[in-house]
Structure 1
């Protein structure tokens, strides 16, 4: 979804004066670019292409670029106030970059009248040369797809392009796009309650493409049939090292080793992660990571539990262990019907196995 167009920052903006009047032969197409197994390309990309042979125009407008040289880049990215911006480039440069990345491109020409094409063309160029060029990115509400959806709906004069009504949550829509196992696992535990809400926003490129295939206004289809401009796709071979099997193997090894030092280190790490989930809401503007119930899985109290486990404080180990087990059971009950259950269940099992075993061990000491 996010297209990291660092090279574009070194190129001049391909902009056009509003005095340019598009011919009747001008075309407006939505370009949907395929996915790739890297974080910024995991969900694809959306662009708008405007072609007009009479005026020798063939340009693609992109939302979702950002500047790596921004001061405090990483801090702003985590906080959620990094400024993204609109870029434009010649179509053939655009196509070359996606072919180079091995990503497909599908075009859907919009059935707009000449006045609507002109209005869209003018508004896109205003976005390039005014304060509108910069915006604060939001994973669901404001990205390379939503910005274009809003533009097209404005031109059509109605919210025709929208997420189909269903009971699917944002998390359920996103889940199939995450092909990298450990990336999927990380995203699932960092997402909070917002992504579990029923999806009402059309925010993903390939979902937008599907909507355009059937969307109508006044009985007429909004877009013409899909045209594949670039068929190239990336095929990622299956890897046991990047799968749930490697996670299961690691957990089995940890259980078999059964060393106190490893357990303490693990609980410290899990507690620190929970502490991060607890505090990030006071800092980050990313709504998707707020109210994160994974704090019951990665519980900050595990830090205190690890300390008393190291000190061999029997009463505190039993108390904090039982509290942590209770949190784990609450967590398990909450996610039992959620799509991410299978991906986090190995960690749940490891937590419960170790906590129950440690608590039972120290209870036996007390009741001897």
Structure 2
């Protein structure tokens, strides 16, 4: 059975429970019998678990039934799933699980489980329940997933905010966020260094915009933290915290992500200098190794640039659009692929290759100058520090071949 079919059966079971008055359950419980909680699951060890997860729990205090609603389900059996994933048109689903089954799964995996019981009026709780059940219908269950602005946590956030009459948004948009999308991504992915570097390289200026607390609540742990600052009316002219109480149901038993993102400038700068030194040394003393190193660098630079160009022009991955790293790595590198082999044979580069190299050096200069201009958002200094010595060393070696000719 597909995931979509299972979701439909769960929704049907919840709705069918209305025929049992003595055990009405969540679907038919009056608002005053509904308890609403935010369940937050800590990050896992696998890369797709690094951002954490969350769910809305509804509990019928009369029957004891507890159901978790979450928006983090996708279906591998969907037609063209991987093609849609590549072009940034991913389809996710809302799911409903019994609370015990879902929370036990995360607890057994060693991930923390935190429950925040929320102060909703009976009318707000009933409205939230009705919205979630409406959302579970097959015709409403699917949504277009976006990593930062429409994901499993923003859907939970928005559902709660909708039931509360936009109280959460009104509060959190006034508070500054602590990090940017890029910083949060790098921080949480730092346990997988290669994937962290690939994501950082592929993110454009969109990922560096300043965030408020509402926007930064795309992360479960940020939403959990930010809800603690939200207050609502107590119905008597005063106010009360939205979070009535908070309970750690299961402690974290995995490695904890760092509190701040790693600074990539020093390691990438050192890596660039080491590669540049290897280019110069092998040009002098091991010309075949120089040729292989230079060709590998150009091949990777061209391929990376081609991927970034495709992400910008042919996909809906807007967080990768207008990536300034295209000035550092771009398809111009493919034009230079023969140059190291000509240098190996002590043959000067072609005029076309020389022009391509000149354009690449101008692009490097532009990439550096961009950081001196007002209004420049993208923070790609680590990649400039890596690419600059690599390209300069390669350019020097190719020009040396021209001079010694």
- Shared fold per TM-score greater than 0.5: yes
> Does 1:226 find its partner at 2:246?
yes
Aligned-residue offset at 1:322: 2.6
Contact kept? 1:31, 1:107, Cα under 8 Å: yes
1:35-74 superposed matches below 5 A: 35-74=43-82
CA distance in 2, matches of 1:232, 1:166: 25
Count of aligned pairs between the two proteins: 355
Contact kept? 1:270, 1:298, Cα under 8 Å: yes
TM-score normalized by the length of structure 1:
0.85
> Does 1:176 find its partner at 2:187?
yes
The match for 2:327 is 296
1:142-189 CA-to-partner distances (Å, cap 9, x unmatched) read: 111111111111111124243532584322333322222111101011
CA distance in 2, matches of 1:277, 1:365: 37
Structure 1, 57-66 or 308-317: larger mean CA deviation = 308-317
> Does 1:193 find its partner at 2:208?
no
> Does 1:92 find its partner at 2:86?
no
SS of the residue 2:58 aligns to: strand
Structure 1, unpaired ranges of 5+: 1-5
Distance 1:38 1:253, change over 3 A: farther
The match for 1:3 is none
Aligned-residue offset at 1:349: 4.5
Q: Give 2:292's match in structure 1, choosing from 233, 257, 261.
A: 261
CA distance in 2, matches of 1:335, 1:70: 43
What RMSD in Å do the two structures reach over aligned CA positions? Answer: 3.1
CA distance in 1, matches of 2:392, 2:312: 30
CA distance in 1, matches of 2:167, 2:182: 23
Aligned-residue offset at 1:225: 3.6
Distance 1:266 1:136, change over 3 A: same
1:209-255 CA-to-partner distances (Å, cap 9, x unmatched) read: 111111113432111242111103312899xxxx959x949848954
Structure of larger gyration radius: 2
Q: Give 1:341's match in structure 2, choosing from 357, 374, 381.
A: 381
Distance 1:350 1:93, change over 3 A: farther
1:125-274 superposed matches below 5 A: 125-161=133-169, 162-163=172-173, 164-166=175-177, 168-179=179-190, 180-200=192-212, 201=215, 202-218=217-233, 219-235=239-255, 248=271, 251=275, 255=279, 257=282, 258-274=289-305
1:288-309 CA-to-partner distances (Å, cap 9, x unmatched) read: 1111211112121111122344
CA distance in 1, matches of 2:403, 2:49: 53
Contact kept? 1:46, 1:62, Cα under 8 Å: yes
Contact kept? 2:168, 2:227, Cα under 8 Å: no
Distance 1:352 1:37, change over 3 A: farther
